[in-house]
Copies of this chain bind each other. A is one copy, B any other.
Amino acid sequence: MNYTAATRVLTHVGAMEMLRAAIAKAEEIGQPQCIVIVDAAGDVVAEVRMTGAKFLSRKSALTKALTVASAGTPTTAVPEGVRPAIAAATGGRVTGLPGGLPIRIDGVLMGGIGVGSGTGDQDVAVAEAALRAVGAAI
């Protein structure tokens, strides 16, 4: 391996387009959501808390985004048997709750999106709408 390596990052333009599409989907299904987008290092790029969303869902949406940006797989892929142990060992930063999906574009893991305030199915639908808007893998 060389000393440096090429990569690609999600820009704020991409993140804002994801928020726009996520909000549109949330409005379409009538469920206000908290939506958090983090980069490959787990740092927030953009987020929004829609009017009427549960405020504590900001916390769980961030946790979902962190989980998937780190692992590269949906939150639901965290094996059920180890969820409590992994959550405890990471200071509560890993969750198996549905609504977290990795952002992978052209094969590169660029971060994660976490959505919370609705049912698991609603959260996933909003996250998928955001991924589609920027051509990310579903």
Contact = CB atoms under 8 A, between A and B. Distances in A.
Interface of A: 1-17, 19-20, 23, 32, 39-51, 54-60, 63-64, 66-67, 69-72, 82-97, 105-106, 108, 110, 134-135
Contacts of A1: 11-13, 51
A9 B13 contact: no
Contact of A89 (B59, B89, B134): B59
A45 B45 contact: no
A10 to B, nearest CB: 6
What is the total number of copies of this protein in its complex? 4
Contacts of A95: 85, 88-89
A115 to B, nearest CB: 12
B3 A135 contact: yes
A15 B59 CA distance: 19
Nearest to A50: B12
A56 B4 contact: no
Given A47-B47, A64-B89, 6 more contacts: A3-B13, A13-B51, A19-B46, A44-B47, A59-B91, A87-B89
